[in-house]
Structure 1
Amino acid sequence: MSKPHDTFLHTRRKIYNGVFLVLTGIATAIALAALFLILETLVVKGVAGLDAHVFTMSQPAPDEQGGLLNAIVGSLVMCGLGMVIALVVGILAGTWLAEYGDGTKLAAVVRFLNDILISAPSILIGLFVYQLLVRPFHGFSAVAGGVALALLAMPVATRATEDIMRLQPYALREAGMALGANRGLVIRAIIWRASKSGLMTGALLSFARISGETAPLLFTSLGNPFLSFKLTQPMAALPTTIFQFAMSAYDDWQRLAWAGALLIAVAVLTTNILGRVLTRGSTQK
């Protein structure tokens, strides 16, 4: 009696497993097909809009020759400003969580708020910075855009710093203190150096997080059709320029929008690949 019953159960489990494998395979195929179609459209239309003027000329008037130089420079400036702020605050905050605040109630609160910031909608961050830096000073600025991007990158840098520092063996800390170094010196001279590749990975992931953000910049830096390096004035960025050009009725602007989208996609892809390579290298060590 038990053998037929066991055979029936075994057959039913194999059927269920086969159905599950088929369903997961179909879902994977759908996701890959959608991704392929998106990438194909992006590459075909983006390459068609690329030329030398994209990197040497600023935003053109409709039906005139131009490029995305002002937007590229603006994105680099604001992302650079945001990354400086985010890495300084994020690395210090992550260090405190991993080394000083472990097990305390304050650390639990900080970690909880950091997790909320990671998943916070970027448009809310932009609105917050608008109320903080744009409205009181009666003007949009690159500084406001950089601060908004910093608030988006900061939680990622904090989490990455805490995680990578927790992976370092406690023997490193004991060895440094045995030589007479205080805790701060051990962290700066030993733990940070041992965590160098992980910290770099966190920085790259933070940059990938903010490089394509549009909503915060619409509330803060707004945009500028001219090349500008003044941090207290509105400044163009690739995401906002893409948004403006893609919504327009001009074919040349739409071509530039596709070219800008391809540039952002390549930058994000390259950043993520570098982050994976560094992560794999640090893991193998």
Structure 2
Amino acid sequence: MHLPDSRTHAYQPDSRLAEDALRGQLSEGEWTYITPRPIAATSRLSLRSGPRADAAQVSEALPGEALELLWDDAGGWAYVRTVHDRYLGWTPAAGLTEPQHGDLLTVTALRAHAYAGPKVSQPIVGELCLGARIIRASGEAVTEGGRPWLPVSLPGGKDGWMGEATLSPIPEADPAALTMRFLDTPYVWGGRSAWGLDCSGLTQLVFGAFGQLIPRDADQQQEFLSAVEWPQRGDLAFFPGHVGLMLDERRMVHANATHMRVTVETLGEGEYGQKLAEGCTGFGRWTA
């Protein structure tokens, strides 16, 4: 029997636990089927390949992001799924909270902080990033030093204040333009935020900022997008285990472990660019 992709389908042969949606799709024998429960991330949470701190990070949940809780273990770890891309991983259960209810706001700044009061000299009470979700709290906005501030409720219920500029509409016109703001962001395996990210985390994040939801990993993204022979601005370029976003027919921006940061390369130019051009397995375009 062909088993479903374990990155997005929850089942564990050792414990015989599986999500309810997989009934009838697994091997014979006794399985305990679990109905996922809605939950949310209180902060940036590492999703790991196993229930331990030294397991590889496979992805990352952003603050306030909607999750599903599958099951937990006796050591304080929970097996969860990020709802937007159905990606699975283990994370400390202490970092989970009940889903937020209210006037949801999305952080549009690459990196942002929430403060204890409407002033930049106030203590920081929350670290946020592009794509994080918070609640507009009750109370009036405040202008301090010419800067408008909004009262907010952070995931987990802590109150704070955020500069309105961190929640303003994204000024960039397309994913390619937004990606350029990430230049020099550190490379982090499994990362999905401007505090550190990997190649497919970058492409997924910038596409998602424009409502274009794509899968988590490079191979999933290549399968999901429409293949094209010649790239144009906004297309993704694929390589074995790697992906970048094309700025035009030759220049590509990508998070990479060669430079350990987000950089721009020209395919076919220089030693690294030549290596990339030779290893390119195709291009994909958003057509939905």
TM interval, shorter chain, is under 0.3
Give the structure with higher Rg (CA). Answer: 1
More strand by share: 2
**What TM-score results when the alignment is normalised by the length of structure 2?**
0.24
TM-score normalised by length of structure 1: 0.24
More helix by share: 1
Of structures 1 and 2, the one scoring higher in RCO (CA 8 A, sep 6+) is 1
